[in-house]
Chains A and B, each alone.
Chain A
Amino acid sequence: MSVISFGEIGAIIIFFIGVYGVVARRNIMKTIISLGIMDAAVILFFVATGRNNVAGESITGITTVEDALPQALMITAIVIGIAVTAVALTMFIYLYHKYGTTNWEKARKMRDEE
């Protein structure tokens, strides 16, 4: 098994900062931002992993280049991340217009009263 690189450790830390944000913050905006942070952390991890394969076993059989597959996949992941954030923000704007709050708990109370 390959050694864990600096980038990967950073990615793990950032990922769990994002998880903390989703779990502990009541603000819907901050939830969406935290999800973005988690997404970015995973992308960082993938890219850092690709670098690790330079000296190790590369799946393409050529050992002098880095593994390009994670980076190619991450372009897809970035695009999906953008799409998801856009949809989430749009829905949040609708919710804000209806309820006038950015707080999960307040929105829930208003929903139950309807």
Chain B
Amino acid sequence: MNIPLWVPVLLPVFFGILTYALPGKLKKIVTLTGEGAALTACLLIFLQCKDSPITLSLGGWNPPVGIVLHADEFASVMILLTTFLFLMLTIFENKQKSANKIFHMLFLILEGLLCGIFLLDDLFSIFVLIEVSTIIVALLIMFNRGSRSMYDGLIYLLISIFSATFLLFGLALLYKQTGTFSLSLLGEILQNVQNTQSLYLPYALILTAICLKAALMPLFSWLPKAHATPGSPSVVSAMLSGLYVKSGIYLFIRCQNAFSVIDTQSFFLIAGIVTAVIGFVLAIAQSDIKLILSYHTVSQLGLIMIAINMGDEIAMWGGLFHVVNHAIFKTMLFLGAGEIIHEYKTRNIYEMKGVAKRMPYISAAMIAAILGITGAPLFNGSISKYMISHGTSNMVGEMALIIISMGTIISFLKLSQIFFGGNNKTRVKISLNRTLVCVILGSICLVFGLLGAPIINLLFGVSVEIDVAGYLTKSLIFFSSVAAAWLIYRYLVKGRKLWNHIRKFDLGFNTIALSVVLFFGVLTAYLYLV
């Protein structure tokens, strides 16, 4: 059966409106039906994409005038991931009182918008969807109307609009020269451009906006605020950190393909390394569990950025696989963190003790996710990190990856102390749906690790051989870096005052806006000078 490509975009929006319009009792059923239907549609599209990419011209108009939906393998994996995680999050949130009609409506509409961003081929429509999804995300961040989340939501909203205006201005300049917004058409047209200099300005403007969405250094300051704001429901944090930032990475890959005449790989490679390092340094400094996780997202986004800019085929697929993996374990960790915060009534990890005894299932799933994120052997992160390290051609790259991985391990050693100690051993009652979601996500971490190569083949249609000797070497490196990380944590991190200063690192709105302008300036200067 052929599913038209507009179904995953419009179906969730339709069900979202239905949830709002129908009486409150029906909201659970309607929402779950919508999510389930969207997941089924995406699954069918995914299977269809196995044979050949699907294209759909809306209204029968072809580019350059019409809007085109396009699903290739990567896009179909992304929409599948989106609908799957949204279904999981809805099941998780289902019994919560705060999840009223409006929440479900916003959540479903956001799902449709995200699918749209992943499927659209038309840059202007992507801009429109980015703007609308920004508004919805801002509303979700401040959903519980806590005063701190009001400030965080406002910063997120205004900075996103600021950068989206850069994107729109870039589109104006691009349209003036090429007369089209279609990414695939641009990719063909720009191949023949002799004088690429006239493209530098639109390119820099568009990429500034996309890098802000992908939280590249120095544009990441909004991310911890938006993802870790107190008072926003944990499903929202999980969705933002696991899924929403990935749209930035996705658009980055798309635009780099279209603008392949402009070579900026080394620029973004270095930016990725800097992002990854600064991300984990800030993550180690935090003591707030949500902030650790969200700064850690920054670090992992840097790692993905490194992978896709290495210019190596296998590392590239490793990066894409890491996008999927990161979505799963980061979602899991945020959900678990939300449960723990709810139970312990604190966000400080030093005040949480003995979680393993009190919440065994959630702890098990969280530990699986932590093993995945640190790249422990047999878990999913190890496969993607193994593939990423394939792209390193020299010692410097290899060392950078090991340092980033070690930083990840240190920050999670710090986090994992919440599982031990404590005198209170009473079990916490957690509803079945929440446990179920956590266990499913945790076991995916393990399954993706055990069946790494077949799953990559299934998802992306790429056959990767995982060399046993190489994998064992990586495992040895992992265990030695765990040991080294423990020593560093024990003697250099714990109780040192220096980290308190790093923790206070926080940019105000004007500084973030300035950093956007500076990033744009540096990128333009790099293009003209190098």
Residues of A in contact with B (beta carbons under 8 Å apart): 1-2, 8, 15, 18-19, 22-26, 28, 31-32, 35, 38-39, 41-42, 45-46, 49, 52-53, 57, 59-60, 67, 69-70, 73, 76-77, 80, 83-84, 87-88, 91-92, 94-95, 98-99, 104-105, 107-108, 111-112, 114
Contacts and interface: CB of A to CB of B under 8 A. Distances in A.
Given A88-B158, A94-B150, A69 B169 contact: no
A2 B151 contact: no
A42 B135 contact: no
B165 A35 contact: yes
15 contacts: A1-B198, A18-B165, A22-B158, A22-B510, A39-B168, A42-B165, A45-B169, A49-B172, A84-B131, A84-B161, A91-B153, A91-B157, A94-B145, A107-B151, A108-B151
B299 interface: no
A59 B65 contact: yes
Contact of A77 (B64, B152, B168, B175): B168
Nearest 5 Cβ contacts at the A-B interface: A98-B147, A104-B509, A38-B165, A45-B172, A49-B176
Classify the secondary structure of B's interface with A. Answer: helix
B115 interface: no
B175 A99 contact: no
B168 A87 contact: no
Contacts of A25: 510
B461 interface: no
Contact of A2 (B128, B176, B509, B513): B176
Interface string B507-519: 0111001100100
Interface of B: 64-65, 124, 128, 131-132, 134-135, 138-139, 142, 145, 147-148, 150-154, 157-158, 161-162, 165, 168-169, 172-173, 175-177, 179-180, 198, 506, 508-510, 513-514, 517
Classify the secondary structure of A's interface with B. Answer: helix
B168 A42 contact: yes
A35 B158 contact: yes
A92 B154 contact: yes
> Of B139, B145, B158, B165, which is in contact with the most chain A CB atoms at under 10 Å from its CB?
B165
Contacts of A31: 158, 509
Contacts of A23: 510, 513-514, 517
